[in-house]
Structure 1
Amino acid sequence: MENPSSGQQTVASEVGNGSDLQVPVYSSSVELLTKLQEKWNSGKKQPSPAMYSSIFGGITLDPAMMAIPIDDHMVHRGHGVFDTAMILNGYLYELDTHLDRFLRSASKAKISPPFPRSSLRSILVQLAAVSQCRKGSLRYWLSAGPGNFLLSPAGCPTSAFYAVVIDVDYSQPKEGVKVITSSVPMKAPQFATMKNVNYLPNALSVMEAEEKGAFAAIWVDDEGYVAEGPNVNVAFISQNKELLLPAFDKILGGCTAKRLLALAPKLVEKGILKSVNTANITLEEGKSAAEMMFVGSGLPILPIITWDEKPIGDGNVGELTLALSDLLWEDMLTGPETHRVPIPYV
């Protein structure tokens, strides 16, 4: 039946069968947009001030329009990759490094971008500028594109590029967190080393940790070596003051982790650290470390003080962890513009 005042329709046969639920049917895009805008216009600050979509070829500031087609292969088949760059004080940190990894992931996923790298970069910088966000993150996706609901993307006319600015007032964390060893199987190296959108194992591992009162879970591979966290790398300070990160051959090579490896020798020169290396680290070696931390874009370093209910070191946030955190945070704020892209706000 039809409601003449609104143009909405409901399925009369289902209502006639005794159901109290009446599902509106919107035949007008204008009416549907109005409903969506009612949902978002609650007066609260929206977390995403701007989005770009190659589907309509531009930037929208309307959260009601920040959507992805249901027939996009990234939505219903998980055929997509993504990456993130942090926005801090009007700069995009490590944008080019993240963008290079993004394109490597796309190549592994057999997705060709709809635009050259220079155009992708320009879109991201313009999006950040239009958003007016000065602290947050810029997240972007490349998908096989919309077209059908089959497994093969052969019927998709072109790939799709999406990006969104997420307004987050993050700060340098200095309090320690608890972690557990994940029982969720980790991804095979082929998929772990590309930043693809299949984060179900990651989500399940975080949920497992939260159920046990921990912040996150850490994967250990089949050989007993420490791998990574759900969306961050792991780093250790050995009893001999060595900075050690698990090798990147089976896990995602974190951009921030690699930047840490490049910056940390400054502490070696000062005699604060003994050395900086990547290595295969056993579970026992990890738990016996003097200090432990997560390393990731939005942190950049998060101290870890307990693993599987066992304290790391003396169970307190370590001085070297904080020194490394200061080193990275200073690089994010005042580092060279080869790693910090200025945002030309409009």
Structure 2
Amino acid sequence: MKTVYVDGKFLPWDKAVIPVDDLAVLRGYAVCDIIKTIGGHPYCLDAHIDRLLSSAEKVGLTPVWTKAEIKKIVFEVLEKNAPMDEANIRILVTGGSSPDFFSPADNPRLIVLVTDIPALPAQWYTKGVKVITFVQQRSIADAKATNYIPAVLALKKAKAQGAVEALYMTPDKMVLEGTTSNLFALVDGTLVTPEKGVLKGITRKTVLALGEKLFPVSEQDLSLDTLLSASELFITGTNKGIVPVIQVDDHIIGTGMPGPGTRALMSAMADQVGRSCNSPSVI
């Protein structure tokens, strides 16, 4: 049985609980981050913890743990769950117990758990996927909060239409990001990704760095019309990596197959991950 870290204790999975007066339960007031292991080592751990702490600050949570302390707990949880195949590491900072069931009392809780990484269909990468658009924006775009009700509703609609992701879009049709992914487009040979109003993923940062070696790169607003006229699209995420998009709503993108630019970036990403596997000290 897996071991979970909850509020200062390492507990069996079925004993890992938090009080019902925690604001994460009562109000959905918490932040989170997810890290995958590569070769058994957390990939980009520092960047993920930095984002976790930044998210907490942006929503008004005051973590009482240092970055070094969180890293130590992550490695302890991995050790206590060994041996296991590659894993997702989920870290949450909750709002803590509240005397009036609404206001934070500066007593956040830290939760760290590991789960197996779900296998994604190989055809996503060889044939591409369909996504839909969904009018929605994050309330605090650059904070990874646990309030995923809009995402759940958007993904439910996407699945009903045979799509794997929903792209958030403003009422004036500026496309932002996916529910759990960032968005990239190749527009007239330039790699474009939205800059404002999005949660800037760790994989997004990696793709931008890799993309600069292959194309002109621009972080800018991206209208639906520009998106639909792009020669190639793809989404990125911690578990997804780079996933080619060949259809948005009822519109076919480019040739309807993963394009050469997307495939080149997928290859560059695979090379970087391979180097990380061989040099865990750089992760």
Per the normalisation by structure 1, the TM-score is 0.75
For structure 2, the 5+ residue unaligned runs are: none
Contact 1:236 1:286 in 2 (8 A): yes
Q: Note closer, same or farther for the CA distance 1:280–1:147 as it changes in structure 2 (3 Å cut).
A: closer
Aligned-partner Cα distance in 1 for 2:165–2:134? 9
Partner Cα separation in structure 2 for residue 163 and residue 72 of structure 1: 16
Q: Give the partner amino acid of 1:261.
A: L
- Higher mean alpha-carbon deviation, 123-132 vs 250-259, is at 123-132
Matched, 1:300 2:241: yes
Equivalent in the alignment of 2:108: 159
Shift of 1:222: 3.6
1: distance between equivalents of 2:221 and 2:118? Answer: 35
Match of 1:246 among 187, 191, 194: 194
SS at match of 1:227: strand
Which residue does the alignment assign to 1:135? 86
> Any idea what SS the aligned residue of 1:262 has?
helix
Partner SS, residue 270 of structure 2: helix
Provide the residue aligned with 1:34 in structure 2.
Answer: none
1:286 aligns with 2:227: yes
Amino acid at match of 1:314: T
**In the alignment, structure 1 residue 109 sits paired with structure 2 residue 109:** no
Distance in 2, matches of 1:176 and 1:67, equals 40
Which residue type is aligned with residue 193 of structure 2? L
CA distance in 2, matches of 1:225, 1:317: 23
CA separation of 1:339 and 1:241: change in aligned 2, threshold 3 A: farther
Rounded to whole Å, the distance in 2 between the matches of 1:50 and 1:321 is: 39
Is the 1:136–1:170 contact (alpha carbons within 8 Å) kept by the matching residues of 2? no
Seen in structure 2, the aligned counterparts of structure 1 residues 332 and 149 have a Cα distance that, compared at 3 Å, is farther
CA displacement, residues 163-211 of structure 1 (integer Å, 9 cap, x when unaligned): 110112546751411111114x3223xx121111111111111111112
The change in CA–CA distance for 1:215 and 1:328 in structure 2 (over 3 A counts) is: same
- Give the Cα separation in 2 of the matches to 1:147 and 1:307: 43
Kept in 1: contact 2:3–2:77 (CA 8 A): yes
Instruction: Give the total of aligned pairs.
Output: 277
Instruction: Show the 5 A alignment for 1:238-277.
Output: 238=187, 240-247=188-195, 249-266=196-213, 268=214, 273=215, 275-277=216-218
CA distance in 2, matches of 1:76, 1:244: 39
8 A contact 1:144–1:153 mirrored in 2 = yes
Tell me which amino acid in the other structure corresponds to 2:208: L
**RMSD between aligned residues:** 1.9
State the partner residue of 2:74. 124
**Structure whose CA Rg is larger:** 1
How far is the alpha carbon of 1:255 from its aligned partner?
1.2
CA deviation vs aligned residue, 1:25-71 (integer Å, no higher than 9, x gap): xxxxxxxxxxxxxxxxxxxxx7xx331111xx2323x3211333222
User: Equivalents in 2 of 1:127, 1:134: separation in Å?
Assistant: 14
Name the amino acid aligned to 1:258. K
* Residues 39, 86 of structure 2: 8 Å contact kept: yes
Q: TM-score, normalised by structure 2?
A: 0.91
Name the counterpart of 2:14: 64
